[in-house]
Structure 1
Amino acid sequence: MIHRYYNNGYYIVLDVNSGAVHVVDELAYEVIGLADEAYQPEEIVTKLKDRWPESDIREVLEDVEELKNQGVLFTEDTYKDKIIDFKKRSTVVKALCLHIAHDCNLACRYCFAEEGEYHGRRALMSYEVGKQALDFLIANSGSRRNLEVDFFGGEPLMNWQVVKDLVAYGRKQEKLHDKKFRFTLTTNGILLNDEVQEFVNKEMSNVVLSIDGRKEVNDKMRPFRNGHGSYDIIVPKFQKLADSRNQTNYYVRGTFTRNNLDFCEDVLHMADLGFKQVSVEPVVAAPEEPYAIREEDIPFICEQYDKLAAEMVKRHGKENDFNFFHFMIDLTGGPCVYKRLSGCGSGTEYLAVTPWGDLYPCHQFVGNEKFLMGNVWDGVKNGELRDEFKCCNVYAKEKCQKCFAKFYCSGGCAANSYNFHGNINDAYDIGCELQRKRVECAIMIKAATAEQGE
């Protein structure tokens, strides 16, 4: 299976099953396309000899055959056999999303968590529940040494003392159990101050800073409950924190909606504010919401991704360059085979914990009782649901079978699939279209920067 496309001046061929990327000229691009349509060599020569010398065409045909022999073009799918016994595959819990606060000091209009309440009640996680969650993680992590804990909300800084106490408890347990915790924090920044910054820089491996971009965009969708915007408060705090972390190990993370389909301007705005690590993602919302992205918006959004990719190539290696999370791609190593096939590990290796200790497959399922898996005292009790998530992979999803991006997105988000189709083994169609475009742009950027000498 191959995928051919032209982007920003580059003819690119991706061999899907091997992951090999070939940047070619127009002749090779056409030859490979015809070969993919099962044309024989002499038929290809006949079809193209009016545009290129026959000797050049035959030389390219020889190169194509050599690439096939090397196992980097028109390769067979070797992954299928690996998913047959996914339900029997032993898994360990390696990451928890701690809902440290089901409360928030903002009222973001697109918030899937209903201003932090998650379809339930406002609550702050107690130290006792958080401590038990860490004990559960250690007990269910098997021989895995590196464990991840994300402090999430709502707004985690509204329960700051418990965050600090749980980090201290985790550090003590590291020595006792030969484990290493990687703590992360997601915050809207309203309560960020020097004391928080100092602690975060000492203890948090990564920090996600929520902001949507330009002032008018951010303040429309991320206001306080009284309607006032948050941009002027958070920008200087985020700039200070990013600089204090040497512009690494953080992301400013935004959401674009139908209100700002020109989101490329928001990405560049944040880059021009000095942020080097930027993530802006499309909103996922019910179709009836006025800010929801619609199918007719996809062509314009794809143009925005192309525009952003071209600008990043232009800025590469210069003082104003930056990283864009969705264009970061590893073409050499990549994730392990199970990650390629099953994605984030929600419901198996990754779980969300509510303030009162209930376990859910991930933060986006919290509040939906159909997906209650157990609790931090008794462990995972819904083994049938866990097995269903074990089997959630690209080969279980019909829409993934012929998709060139399947080994990069691993089938997409199970929660989005469920919310739009009532089934975790389907796929959110708009998300799929945008993911394919992002993969194309990411590969093009790799090609362009390699040409620049990297």
Structure 2
Amino acid sequence: MKIWFDKTATHQSLPHQAADCPCPTSSRQLDRELAEDMQTGTFEQARSLYVRQYDQERWLVCHPIGAGKIIVLDQAAYGFLQQFQLPRTLLQMVQLAPDWPLKTIETAITVLLSAGILQNVCATTPPYSWIQDDCLTVWMHITNACNLRCSYCYLDKTSDHMADDTAHRSMDAVFRSARKHNIKAVELKYAGGEASLFMPRVMTIHDYAAQLAQDCGISLGATLLTNGVVLSQRAIEDLKARQIRVMISLDGLDAYHDSQRPFLNGHGSSRYVLRTIERLLANALLPHISITVSSRNLEGLPQLMAYVLARNMPFTISYYRQNECSAHLRDLRFAEERMITAMRSVFNVIEQQLPQRSLLGYLLDRTHVSLRSNRTC
């Protein structure tokens, strides 16, 4: 019996995750409860399971409104799961499968419980109804200014920026709210415009937030969302010293990137972005790559994905959405079939260079399928 599942801890925050998706970014460990359930519980399949046969030997199973995790079962494990169409205790399963060691049965039940595939019908509390977010994510809009004029951007560029007193009062409010609601972690997203144009201000804000976090006993994480054009060596060292993650937009190599992310004067920005990425890697600061797909860069996506995977960088794929600022640019829009064909080529590249990390949070736009969902993203 074999069960494949993602063992990545769900409390590990992804840079893109809280920006567009309302799903929880953390969950509490259920190990103690599962151990207690094992001896006294009666187990059955959760309702609303999604089950799909992948090939002749494997099945995909998910409980999207439970734990939200996807697991893969071989034939023996699928047969084991089918036994729970009726309520079963551990003792009954031992009697039904006398050739399997007790440890194997206990482990299988534990895995299925933790994935939300099984539920304990004797439990007084639904297994995931009590889980709530314990991380507060805050988008800090540092400025409207930007040195690029990306074709699909939804923001009108101005010189407006966040004043120091506004930033301090915002941080005060964030941690006041976190303490009030017993939040254990705060995640900051420094964005714009182009936040890196105001790096001293970003550092000042972050240092103030770090002090508040220490005073409140709350953990702090942060990500700089940047186009990657102007990150100096000093800025990189400051980011690394403060453990601020970096998310860089890269839509292709060379002309494919330049076609939708030019400077104000129309010149391409790709060589500056690629230089920054290599500089970050040289400083042991692994950037997260944000890829926006439009009709302009479809053909260049396989080459871009090979570049990203060769450097073992995490990535996010998003798809162009028309907005008020880009509605007049018809060449950004793509026909569905053309987009599907291009993405199949991308997935072929990924299949040939599978990274060690889970891809469940990266392949679907504005979605994290390794987390529970009780509403659309």
Q: Same fold (TM over 0.5)?
A: yes
Contact 1:276 1:323 in 2 (8 A): no
State how far apart, in whole Å, the 1-side matches of 2:60 and 2:359 are: 23
Contact 1:107 1:222 in 2 (8 A): yes
State how far apart, in whole Å, the 2-side matches of 1:22 and 1:91 are: 27
State how far apart, in whole Å, the 1-side matches of 2:250 and 2:305 are: 10
State how far apart, in whole Å, the 1-side matches of 2:228 and 2:283 are: 15
| Counterpart in the other structure of 1:57 | none
The structure 2 residue matched to 1:109, chosen from 129, 137, 151, is: 151
Q: Specify the code of the residue in structure 1 equivalent to 2:320.
A: V
The structure 2 residue matched to 1:257, chosen from 270, 280, 294, is: 294
State how far apart, in whole Å, the 2-side matches of 1:176 and 1:92 are: 18
| Counterpart in the other structure of 1:278 | 314
- Aligned-pair distance for 1:77? 11
Structure 1 pair 297/174, CA: closer, same or farther in 2 (3 Å)? Answer: same
State how far apart, in whole Å, the 2-side matches of 1:206 and 1:282 are: 19
Q: Specify the code of the residue in structure 2 equivalent to 1:276.
A: N
Q: SS in structure 1 opposite 2:353?
A: helix
- Aligned-pair distance for 1:177? 2.5
| Counterpart in the other structure of 1:164 | 203
Contact 1:267 1:280 in 2 (8 A): no
Work out whether 1:233 is the aligned partner of 2:265.
no
- Aligned-pair distance for 1:21? 2.5
| Counterpart in the other structure of 2:333 | 292
Q: SS in structure 1 opposite 2:151?
A: coil
Once the two structures are superposed, residues 103-147 of structure 1 have per-residue CA deviations (whole angstroms, 9 ceiling, x without a partner) of 100001111224xx4xxx541111111111110111000232421
Q: Specify the code of the residue in structure 2 equivalent to 1:126.
A: A
- Aligned-pair distance for 1:298? 5.2
- Aligned-pair distance for 1:241? 0.9
Contact 1:257 1:282 in 2 (8 A): no
State how far apart, in whole Å, the 1-side matches of 2:57 and 2:167 are: 51
Deviates more, 1:123-132 or 1:304-313: 304-313
State how far apart, in whole Å, the 1-side matches of 2:314 and 2:341 are: 21
| Counterpart in the other structure of 1:14 | 61
Q: SS in structure 2 opposite 1:226?
A: coil
Work out whether 1:100 is the aligned partner of 2:154.
no
| Higher normalized helix content (fraction of residues) | 1
Structure 1 pair 137/214, CA: closer, same or farther in 2 (3 Å)? Answer: same
Structure 1 pair 303/12, CA: closer, same or farther in 2 (3 Å)? Answer: farther
Q: Specify the code of the residue in structure 2 equivalent to 1:103.
A: A
% same residue: 17
State how far apart, in whole Å, the 2-side matches of 1:10 and 1:128 are: 61
State how far apart, in whole Å, the 2-side matches of 1:140 and 1:291 are: 41
Q: SS in structure 1 opposite 2:332?
A: coil
Contact 1:102 1:124 in 2 (8 A): yes
The structure 2 residue matched to 1:269, chosen from 289, 298, 307, is: 307
- Aligned-pair distance for 1:85? 9.3
* TM norm structure 1: 0.53
Structure 1 pair 136/211, CA: closer, same or farther in 2 (3 Å)? Answer: same
- Aligned-pair distance for 1:244? 0.8
Structure 1 pair 206/83, CA: closer, same or farther in 2 (3 Å)? Answer: same
Once the two structures are superposed, residues 228-267 of structure 1 have per-residue CA deviations (whole angstroms, 9 ceiling, x without a partner) of 000112212211112312x54x312221212233423211
Q: How many residues align?
A: 291
State how far apart, in whole Å, the 2-side matches of 1:97 and 1:184 are: 10
State how far apart, in whole Å, the 2-side matches of 1:306 and 1:270 are: 13
Contact 2:142 2:191 in 1 (8 A): yes
- Any residues of structure 2 matched to 1:27-38 within 5 Å, and which? none
Deviates more, 1:263-272 or 1:139-148: 263-272
Structure 1 pair 94/84, CA: closer, same or farther in 2 (3 Å)? Answer: closer
The structure 1 residue matched to 2:372, chosen from 340, 346, 349, is: 340
State how far apart, in whole Å, the 2-side matches of 1:104 and 1:5 are: 48
Q: SS in structure 2 opposite 1:290?
A: helix
State how far apart, in whole Å, the 2-side matches of 1:164 and 1:132 are: 16
Contact 1:93 1:137 in 2 (8 A): no
- Any residues of structure 2 matched to 1:362-377 within 5 Å, and which? none
Structure 1 pair 145/84, CA: closer, same or farther in 2 (3 Å)? Answer: closer
Q: Specify the code of the residue in structure 2 equivalent to 1:286.
A: Q
Structure 2 unaligned regions, length at least 5: 1-48, 86-98
The structure 2 residue matched to 1:4, chosen from 52, 74, 77, is: 52
Q: Specify the code of the residue in structure 1 equivalent to 2:218.
A: K
The one of the two structures with greater contact order (alpha-carbon pairs below 8 A, sep at least 6) is: 2
State how far apart, in whole Å, the 2-side matches of 1:125 and 1:134 are: 12
Contact 2:317 2:363 in 1 (8 A): no
State how far apart, in whole Å, the 2-side matches of 1:83 and 1:109 are: 45
Q: SS in structure 2 opposite 1:308?
A: helix
Structure 1 unaligned regions, length at least 5: 39-61, 342-392, 395-410, 413-454
* TM norm structure 2: 0.63
| Counterpart in the other structure of 2:176 | 139
